[in-house]
A and B are shown apart, each in its own frame.
Chain A
């Protein structure tokens, strides 16, 4: 399988995000204003249909309970934020704690992936060493390996180490570059950096570590940002990991808090449930707004899962 893996990767896709102001201009001659308007209308309609579920949830979070299931509208009759206040502290230890826990886990995971995956990527992208092709193929194969096959022995291992009930099983693996996917993303990026730059540093007498630190790292910042943002989002949304390793309410990250909320309040207070669901999506949404272009370019180059 490993040798065929490389075959499937879309090496031909342009890493730069498709830009609206690209030099190519319009492809098939000029279009009539009417056709352009119709296209915009269609696109808006499709966006509306796609985002309808989320918009419906946003509207349902700010209207009285009795209105939620009375009509399918997404236009709120009023904006009442009391569900947010009530939901925030409805289930002890409260949503503030869940969010904080999530951020702690995410910070650890992001730091781990940035350090370990960048080191490994530099070796694959720039250094020559025996068996490099073999290890690269192994790395690609682990990207495709279903996590479930290592889940139980890992649990037994972390359990023996006394780590169950802590965040260590969620963070430490990242410092050992187990998210091989990001190694691949960074390798792809680093290969695009002109070799002349490292060679110039080498002529100046820089060692491998200094070439990595002062040439490759600064030039890889765009790919490091993509790695950081995707690690944050996937760690933030991860449900299975916390479900298996955490049992104390005070340690719960957002997904577990929300599930508990659903079980505890579900039938009585949909407004609060939707309000907190919305709050839980907010960090992902903000990151998306800030890094939209970068994320989409990252997907286009590597074909991210998800």
Chain B
């Protein structure tokens, strides 16, 4: 799953969600990853939840044109109306973090209106001690005092269809995924968990799927900086019997 973090109209990337650098035009990168055989596209607006209205629907509409794989969009979604705008622009699923923490019923409202398959609970997790992670909001900036595991379980009860689990500690480090965090959440919920944050090399994906029980894996700068191609990563995954999209 190719993750593209966006600020304004640009594709950006940081480390631990900070020191954001501009990489390029998100539509071009999304199209490239589609044509190279990405399983899904994940668009996250890095600053929308700070400043309110975002340009996301416009960018989504441009990107969704002639891309026939699932597209998940998150960042700055505050209401069912925001969800409707993104779906009308061509998103298939929405990922919600900050607004869900502030108002958990938003998850059930979206699930009721558009189905659970449409709503991804985005959790940004920061390690606080042994076996304890705290939920952060606003792209890793704000505490919530929520425990990650308890919040993940509540998200399932509220009707989320998937969980996007980003490790703030590993994000942008290229040192591999937070295996303990991923395994803890994935083993405790009945819905699929997407691991995010830390992919440095193709075997990191194998590690988080086999040892972290991740059901899907998001990756960003490994692709943006061209350190590995989707084809190389897919080959490593297939050799380890991990189900990915086959692509010639």
Please say whether chains A and B are actual partners in one complex: no
